[in-house]
Amino acid sequence: MPEFLDPRDRRLLVGAGVAMVLLLALTYAVAPTAPQQSIGYPSSYSSEWAGAKAAFLLLQQSGYDVERWEKSPEDLPEPSRNVVLVLAEPSDAGTPSERTAIRRFVQGGGRVLVTGASGAKVAPDANAVAVPDWNLKPKAFSALEPSPLSRNAPEITMVAPDDWTSDQPAQVAVYGNEDKPVVVSYKVGKGEVIWWASSSPFSNGSIRESGNLALFLNSIGPPSESRVLWDEYFHGARGSLLSFFLETPLPWAGVQLGIVLLAAVFTLSRRWGPLWVPVSDSRLSPLEFVDTLGDLYKSAHASPAAVGVAYQRLRSLLARKLETPVNAKLPELCRAASRRFGWPEDALLDTLARSERAMRSLKSDEGEALELVRNLHDYLDRLAPQIVPGQEKPAWK
């Protein structure tokens, strides 16, 4: 029976099989022993325990002008007087421009009811820390002082409240105990911010607890004076099909599919792809001698020698063309070259003087040496003879 797989392919398949078995074993080991029931999050669409659909419908049936807000905070209405924005534990802190828009909304006279430590990141002048607590047993908190928020609600209950960490004098703790405020109210400009340590007082599972409904309605205000915007923008409801799919597992499924496709392309290209012979430099290359000589000068740090070779060649060629002594001084040689060839005397003198110093320097700069060699070769190119049509003798550049 012919073999369809070579030894390398068999090793690849065996390795993939072993990796799959290990991943399955790891998944089984870290998987929870019993599925945990989701309690939801405070969205006006959610009917789960922690959802807020009951509170939203209650406002509608009580005559409030209430609507779900799925736009950016930058589109909040202006003027904002008598407008209440409910930010129930937003899933992200938003962009700086969005947080600035919320501050502008409050300063213009709007009211913001914000809950949780995540809400404190969005509200102006608020600061809170999340406290991990999976205990769903309600905790009772009493009113700390008389306030419009505590009317007909001497006591409320909350589930897993977060910690308020701001300490500004204008921020008044309405509910809580001696060391843990759970409802805080303060002014920002013409408006007001009301912070709750948890969304449970208006959640489906706790809104009927003693004092919770009264606190919720006191925080919203009377129906005749309040337009309520229940934020769903920070819960991911961005009003577009793309934003909806981004909140689902589809992007990760696409990543996994892309990995599978890349693995398939790699496998097929490895097996049936074209064969390429590595390109090797010919040992007969005319530049091999130049590269070898350059590497030799570089490894030996012999830049003075390179400058000296070009300098001596230019010096002897100038002496021969100008018919001057070989040991003529540099100013005399440069003056004669300027009169004969029209070269700038100062530039030629500077190049030759720097070249003499570089030849004698023990610690020469390789960059300066390279520049000098280029300048010297430029002068040598100008001295090269050039045949001009109609002349028997070559002309000089």
Q: What are phi and psi of 133, to 5 degrees?
A: -150, 110
| Segment among 54-63, 156-165, 249-258, 379-388 with least mean pLDDT | 379-388
pLDDT grade, residue 36 (50/70/90)?
Answer: very low
**Global pTM?**
0.54
pLDDT of residue 22: 79
d(CA 244, CA 22) in angstroms, rounded, equals 34
* Other CB atoms within 10 A of residue 174 CB: 26
d(CA 86, CA 221) in angstroms, rounded, equals 12
- 315-330 pLDDT, tens digit per residue, is 888 888 888 887 888 8
Enumerate the β-bridge partners of residue 191. Answer: 188
Q: Which of 318, 294, 284 is nearest to 369 (CA)?
A: 294
H/E element holding 68? strand 65-69
| pLDDT over 60 (residue 346) | yes
| pLDDT over 70 (residue 149) | yes
Query: Helices 303-322 and 366-383 sit at what angle, rounded to 10 degrees?
Result: 20
Asked if 255 and 247 touch (Cβ cutoff 8 Å), the reply is no
| pLDDT over 70 (residue 27) | no
Domains of the chain with bracketed CATH = 53-241 (3.40.50.880), 288-396 (no CATH)
| pLDDT over 60 (residue 3) | no
| Segment among 2-6, 227-231, 268-272 with least mean pLDDT | 2-6
- 183-239 pLDDT, tens digit per residue, is 999 999 999 999 999 999 999 999 999 899 999 999 999 998 889 999 999 987 765
* List of residues 6+ apart from 176 with CB closer than 8 A: 141, 144, 182, 183
pLDDT of residue 387: 43
